[in-house]
Amino acid sequence: MTTEVWISTRGKISETTLIAIQEAVEEENTKDTPSFGPADLEEIHRSGSEAGLLGIYNFPGAVYATDGSNDKGVMRAGFSKLDENRGGCCQLGRGEEGNSSNRAELGAACLALEDAKRKQDRKPIILLSDSACFLSSSQKWIGEGKSPSMHGNPDAEIMRDIVQLLQERMEPGLLTIFIKIKAHRGDPLNELADRWADEGRQSENIRWSLPTNRPIFYWTDNGTTHRSPMNPTVKKRTDFQVSQQQLKIHTGSTANFLTLEDNSRDLLGKFHKDRSV
């Protein structure tokens, strides 16, 4: 592939700029690293982002941004801390029991809270997350009169750590605020947390990997093998297989129609996949 760079005939490019352009063109990573420089344009950009409009860059405490990802069977989590140009990441174990992006988001939040405890930061904390699912799963543990249980929670070991860390902050009266921000909208804090989550793919730090000994179900769909513990998807697949077996013992017109190759279920699926059908 050939790349051309056009400039004015009167312009001059320094050797340093040429090297920077060449490195950018040859870079395999498609994601840029967000900049937190002191230039006026950068400050204007940050102030106009979602976090900037909320006044988070002027928050008198510690600000963490977290992100989790579930990509190609690998769950990874990362966080970044504002004003310290650092962060952390890890892989999440127990993927053989099923992968979940919410599990990765929970892991990222727990990493940030652990970092605050390790640094003995006795300031109020804002924790930014782009996952509404994570915030809603944490909401049930907040407020009086609630009695949630870890039983049945697929990520109980991570949620238990998060609740313990929050309780340790509450005892001395330290404030912890969770805020939902939009993902992939160019917010520097969210983008930097995303880069740390990407680093988790290569991380040797594997957390929350102890098996739960739950039964694992396997099934094949269009040549692809899936695996998961019991969940709504497994129940749906099981009901579907039982229904297909039951069709063999019925001879009514409905049963005959549903056993056709292009029955109503197949046609509906094709319609949602390709609206031209």
**Domains along the chain?**
31-207 (3.30.420.10), 217-273 (no CATH)
Alpha carbons within 13 A on the beta-carbon side of 97? 16
Tell me the per-residue pLDDT of 51-101, one tens digit each, with 9 for 90 and over.
999 999 999 999 999 999 988 778 999 999 998 889 999 999 988 787 888
Please state which of the ranges 1-10, 133-142, 149-158, 261-270 shows the lowest mean pLDDT: 261-270
| Residue 240 phi, psi (nearest 5) | -65, -45
Check pLDDT > 80 for residue 267: no
Amino acid at 268: L
Check pLDDT > 90 for residue 162: yes
Q: Which of 84, 86, 94 is nearest to 111 (CA)?
A: 86
Question: How far apart, in whole angstroms, are the C-alpha atoms of residue 32 and residue 65?
Answer: 17
Tell me the mean pLDDT in the region 210-222: 83
| Residue 187 tokens, joined | 């917010």
Check pLDDT > 50 for residue 277: no
Check pLDDT > 80 for residue 3: no
Q: With contact defined as beta carbons under 8 Å apart, do 67 and 194 qualify?
A: yes
More confident residue, 12 or 53: 53
